[in-house]
Each structure stands twice: as structure tokens, then as C-alpha cells.
């Protein structure tokens, strides 16, 4: 669910996922991997990038 929310936010802003990963210093493929596993503390970085509360990504 987290990955789908991030993917939707990125699509709404026309931002490729790899651009977000590069901007946040995350290894390429990190966001997509969250489709399978929980993201740990890197989720805060993504929320800040989109300027949304972490809870929005978890909803």
C-alpha cells in the first residue's frame, strides 16, 4: 500500500520514481521494493519530499 501511494503521488506530479530515489539518496529500486517489505526510517524522507505527513503514505 505504501508503494502504491508513493507511486500515485509521483504520477500526479509527473516525477519518475528513480528521480525521487536519486534526490533522497536512496538506492535505485528502493521504492518499488517497498511493495514487498516495510520501508523503515526512509519513509520520513519520502514524506518530506512530497511535503505530506507520513500518515498519508500509510493510509
pLDDT of residue 38: 64
Say what the pLDDT of residue 15 is.
97
**pLDDT, greater one: 18 or 36:** 18
Predicted pLDDT at 1? 76
Instruction: Calculate the dihedral angle through the C-alpha atoms of 57, 40, 29, 22, rounding to the nearest 10 degrees.
Output: 80
With both helix axes pointing from N to C terminus, report the angle between 2-12 and 42-50 in degrees, rounded to the nearest 10.
30
H-type alpha helices, 1-59: 2-12, 17-24, 30-33, 42-50, 54-58
Summarised one tens digit per residue, pLDDT across range 22-55 is 999 999 998 988 887 766 667 888 899 999 998 8
d(CA 2, CA 54): 10
Predicted TM-score (pTM) of this structure: 0.69
Top pLDDT among 12 and 39 is at: 12
Amino acid at each position: 500500500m505504501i508503494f502504491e501511494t508513493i507511486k500515485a503521488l509521483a504520477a500526479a506530479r509527473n516525477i519518475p520514481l528513480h528521480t525521487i530515489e536519486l534526490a533522497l539518496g536512496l538506492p535505485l529500486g528502493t521504492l518499488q521494493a517497498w511493495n514487498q517489505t516495510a520501508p523503515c526510517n526512509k519513509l520520513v524522507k519520502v514524506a518530506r519530499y512530497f511535503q505530506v505527513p507520513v500518515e498519508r503514505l500509510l493510509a
